[in-house]
């Protein structure tokens, strides 16, 4: 997706990346906690917004 945009930064893509990182934390390091609620459903929604 980054290659398709020819290097142009998209804030939504960065947000998706950080949501994915937060989901990993929520699964594997629960004691660290995440600053915002995150779920697979939220990631799906963010991905759908990128593809429109």
Phi and psi based region of residue 38 (left: phi greater than 0; alpha: psi -120 to 50; beta: remaining): beta
pTM of the predicted protein model: 0.70
Q: How many independent structural domains does the chain possess?
A: 1
Residue 46 lies in a domain: yes
Does 3 or 44 have the greater pLDDT score? 44
pLDDT of 51: 78
Domain annotation covers residue 3: no
Q: Mean pLDDT, the chain, as a whole number?
A: 84
Range of the domain at 24: 11-50
pLDDT at 32: 86
Q: Which residue has the higher pLDDT, 42 or 8?
A: 42
Domain membership of residue 4 (yes or no) is no
- Position 33 confidence tier, pLDDT thresholds 50, 70, 90: confident
Identify whether 2 is part of a domain: no
Does 41 fall in a domain?
Answer: yes
């Amino acid at each position: 997706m980054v290659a398709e945009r020819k290097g142009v930064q998209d804030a939504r893509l960065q947000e998706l990346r950080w949501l994915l990182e937060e989901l990993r934390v929520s699964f594997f390091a629960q004691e660290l906690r995440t600053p915002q609620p995150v779920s697979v459903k939220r990631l799906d929604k963010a991905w759908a917004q990128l593809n429109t």
